[in-house]
Chain A
Amino acid sequence: MLRWIVWRDLMLAWRRRADMLSTVFVFVIVVSLFPFGIGPETQLLRTIAPGVVWVAALLASMLSLGRLFANDYQDGTLEQLLLTPQPLFLVVLGKTLAHWIIAEVPLVLIAPLVGVQFDLNKETLWILFASLLLGTPVLSLIGSVGAALTLGLRGGGVLISILVLPLYVPALIFGAGAVEASILGMSPAANLYLLGAFAIVSLLFSPFATAAALRISLE
């Protein structure tokens, strides 16, 4: 069942590749604008790199959140998903997992490449990759709650940012913190552990919150 819903969403995303690519392009372009704007001051670039890459990842994933449930809501398939004989939180978990694969994994994979523009060394690029790999599931999980709450509302796109971005702050602090520690030659382990813990907590709570929010939105 979980397999089917993930497969369904991946196939739908593949049929609408343009949507998926736009998220990645926004991420790459936003991150690349900073080195152009600041110029070849490697020391400054290294200092701002963790924050810039992480903030760009947060903003890029906001773009795709609106589509998480909205398309299914419009054609009535979301109603059908609510009426399947499986617990709703499993359906939600499947959709969130698919969203992570579609919208976040490409960012994680391309981040070390765009990180090169900030004169980061190899080890730091690995930490950047690891911190995003641990942190982006949080973005999908918490984002799904916001997407479910703003479903069918006018101006939902803005509202979802206001709701969700503040909740991303812990992930941003620990994610960027890990990269920063690595730049300063310290161990990023503490930050990564905390990021992992935050990911587990959001995995435990957000599918249930999203399921409840979807039931309210569809009434």
Chain B
Amino acid sequence: MLQSARRTTSILAVSKLGCVRGDRRLFSGLDLSVSPGTFVQLTGPNGSGKTSLLRILCGLLAPAEGVVTWNGANIRSLAEEYYTSVTYLGHRHGVKDELSAIENLRISNALNGITVSIERAHEVLGQMGLAGRESLLAQLLSEGQRRRVGLARLLICNTKLWLLDEVLTSLDKSAIALVRSLIENHLTGGGIAIVATHQELELAASRTRRLELTT
């Protein structure tokens, strides 16, 4: 009884959130509480504030009104502590053109405090379908392959909250299937994924929620 109550407690909560960009109000009075193992699909037309909402949730953007809490504490006051539990992938993939796939992966993880051995990096990039291209500079990779390099971080990070912004753009069918299985594993392990996308992800996981933003 107690256990089931604990399992349904939300760890990410948003109350009366409002966002203003320029002189336009994108949304206001947004309430949301997410418990572990939940997938939130964020939909809405262009310019409805999907990216802004994700940036508020990861703390890059200060909300015009309302608060975002993580385990009951405001994320603005948690600051760096919060970032040990969050992975954010924006629509700019965060991959350096002048570094190879393997360097990109190892450096971005090292900056997050995770040391990745060369063997492990090869293994992860192989899983992402980049076997044989690990040492190519990212500028020589295709758009979809670069996106795969960025997504490879999801295989290594052990964060609880994933915020993914339009990560399916320029990915092929097999890569989309890969992302889907990654998110499924993440949810099974008690993680949360909030994904802004125009494509249907059709997750098998039971606890899928939709959040539609309107203009």
Contact = CB atoms under 8 A, between A and B. Distances in A.
Given A85-B80, A218-B60, A219-B62, A1 B94 contact: no
A1 B108 CA distance: 11
A219 B55 CA distance: 8
B177 interface: no
B112 interface: yes
Contacts of B108: 77, 80
A15 interface: yes
A75 B111 contact: no
Interface string A75-88: 11101111111111
Contacts of A86: 80, 111, 113
B31 interface: no
Contact of B97 (A1, A8, A75, A84): A75
Which size bracket describes the interface of B in this complex?
Answer: 20 to 34
Contact of B88 (A12, A75, A79, A91): A79
Which size bracket describes the interface of A in this complex?
Answer: 20 to 34
Contacts of A1: 110-111, 113
Contacts of B97: 75
Dominant secondary structure of chain A at its interface with chain B: helix
Interface of B: 58-62, 80-81, 83-84, 86, 88, 90-99, 103, 107-108, 110-113, 137
Given A12-B96, A80-B111, A84-B80, 14 more contacts: A5-B111, A15-B98, A15-B99, A16-B98, A75-B92, A75-B95, A75-B97, A79-B60, A79-B88, A79-B94, A83-B83, A85-B83, A86-B80, A91-B111
19 contacts: A4-B110, A5-B111, A8-B107, A12-B98, A15-B137, A75-B93, A76-B90, A76-B94, A77-B96, A79-B60, A79-B92, A80-B111, A83-B59, A83-B60, A84-B80, A85-B113, A87-B80, A219-B60, A219-B62
